[in-house]
């Protein structure tokens, strides 16, 4: 019955949308498989590649899925078009990794009208009516930022610099993304609360290494008086490290600049073990099995939690070993 209603709804949606959306690709015919449309926001970072790999492995044909993957190249318009195309194809379920929080109401309503459930993965969507999606599985980005700030406060005390003037260069991820907004809040709050902390500048790095390098390189041409770099992902940190090297500034263990980085991908942990990055805040990208479990629960009519946050750690050199890094999945 559910399938029948969905087919009628899809046909109606098709009639309504035919004039304004791109031509749909036909839904795969293999009726044994559950067809999942996945709008991935991009391929900007090592984290994102690990996330896409986790999704494709978990939603494979062997496991009973036909995964239709669309890469939006960090553009929300591409995501909206992809989701509308999935609706036109009448997929069984849609997964969205949203680039930004806002702007989702209409398309989620269209999915609901077509009776297609939606799972939000990684970042969140800001919609008044949370029943527009089934569940949101991702990280507690606010907690990540809070842990980074707590660590910085303690680390400065340990170094006997608790009372010093501290100038922080803040490298920000894609504006409007939950991970950017929630990692930004704790450092801005801390600077308001700590009279000796200043944000020297907030630079847009869009979560990419190239942008991270470019903005830090340009910044250091005018101001080299930096005590901390608070970088909202590893790839921007790698770019910043290159810019610091070129500027002849020492960072990490025994250096002049404290480096804080989010994600904790293998390469960043390796730098941490080598004493080049001071703190790696973990952000776990392996959501594929979690999404698969949600789909199974939905198909079996079980109740589904609205928000699922993943357990995460923070790493400093003394908490790392080569074995731990080598055994990591990403
Ligand atoms: O939303 C998660 C963030 O997106 C990761 O920290 C970053 O690397 C990615 O691009």
179 lines ligand 1 (CB under 6 A): yes
- Which of 43, 47, 121 gets mutated to test ligand 1 (max ligand atoms within 8 A of its CB)? 47
Percentage above 70 pLDDT, the chain: 91
Tell me which DSSP letter residue 120 carries.
E
Residue with tokens 């989010």: 262
The mean predicted confidence, pLDDT, of the chain is 93
State the closest ligand 1 atom to the C-alpha of 97, by its place in the atom list counted from 1: 1
CA distances from 237 to 77, 98, 157 (A): 28, 23, 24
**Does the Cβ of 45 fall within 6 Å of ligand 1?**
yes
Q: Quick one: which atom of ligand 1 is closest to the CA of 46?
A: 8
pLDDT score of 28: 52
Residues 28 and 66: beta-carbon distance below 8 Å: yes
Using the predicted structure, report yes or no on whether residue 280 has a pLDDT greater than 90: yes
Q: Which residues fall within 8 angstroms of residue 183, CB to CB, at 6 or more apart?
A: 141, 142, 144, 145, 148, 173, 232, 262
The answer, yes or no, to whether any atom of ligand 1 lies below 6 A from the CB of 122, is yes
Q: How buried is 295 (Cβ within 10 angstroms: 0-12 exposed, 13-18 middle, 19+ buried)?
A: buried
Point out which residues pair with 228 in neighbouring strands.
168, 258
275 pLDDT band, cuts 50/70/90, is very high
C-alpha of residue 257 to centroid of ligand 1, in Å: 23
The reply to whether ligand 1 has any atom less than 6 angstroms from the CB of 278 is: no
CB of 144 within 6 A of ligand 1: the answer is: no
- Asked whether 141 lines ligand 1 (CB < 6 A), one says no
* 3-state helix, strand and coil shares in percent for the chain, rounded to the nearest 5: 45, 20, 35
pLDDT tens string 36-71: 999 999 999 999 999 999 999 999 999 999 999 999
Q: Which residues share a beta bridge with 120?
A: 96, 136
Residue-level pLDDT at 27 = 52
Residue 78 is encoded by which pair of tokens? 């591409």
Q: Is 170 in the pocket of ligand 1 (CB under 6 A)?
A: no
Centre of ligand 1 to C-alpha 144, Å, is 12
Q: Which has more confidence, 250 or 22?
A: 250
């Amino acid at each position: 019955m559910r399938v029948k209603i969905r087919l009628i709804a899809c046909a109606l949606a098709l009639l309504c949308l035919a004039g304004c959306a791109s031509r749909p690709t036909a839904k795969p015919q293999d009726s044994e498989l559950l067809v999942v449309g996945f709008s991935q926001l991009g391929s900007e970072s090592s984290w994102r590649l690990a996330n896409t790999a986790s999704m494709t492995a978990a939603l494979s044909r062997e496991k009973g899925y036909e995964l239709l993957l669309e890469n939006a190249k960090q553009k929300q318009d591409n995501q909206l078009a992809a989701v509308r195309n999935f609706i036109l194809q009448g997929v069984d379920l849609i997964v969205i990794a949203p680039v930004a929080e806002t702007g989702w109401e209409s398309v989620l309503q269209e999915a609901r009208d077509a009776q297609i459930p939606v799972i939000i993965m990684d970042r969140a969507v800001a919609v008044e009516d949370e029943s527009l999606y089934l569940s949101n599985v991702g990280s507690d980005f606010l907690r990540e930022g809070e842990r980074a700030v707590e660590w910085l406060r303690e680390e400065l005390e340990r170094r006997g610099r608790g009372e010093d003037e501290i100038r922080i260069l803040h490298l920000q991820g894609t504006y409007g993304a939950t991970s950017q907004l929630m990692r930004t809040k704790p450092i801005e709050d801390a600077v308001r609360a700590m009279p000796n902390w200043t944000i020297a500048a907030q630079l847009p790095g869009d979560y990419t290494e190239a942008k991270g390098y470019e903005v830090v390189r340009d910044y250091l041409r005018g101001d080299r008086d930096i005590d901390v770099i608070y970088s909202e992902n590893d790839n921007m940190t790698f770019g910043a490290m290159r810019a610091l090297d070129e500027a002849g500034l020492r960072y990490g263990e025994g250096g002049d600049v404290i480096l804080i980085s989010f994600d904790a991908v293998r390469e960043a942990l390796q730098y941490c073990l080598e004493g080049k990055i001071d703190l790696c805040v973990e952000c776990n990208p392996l959501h594929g099995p979690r999404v698969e479990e949600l789909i199974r629960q939905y198909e079996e009519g079980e109740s589904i939690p609205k928000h699922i946050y993943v357990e995460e750690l923070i790493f400093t050199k003394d908490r790392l070993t080569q074995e731990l890094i080598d055994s990591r999945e990403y």
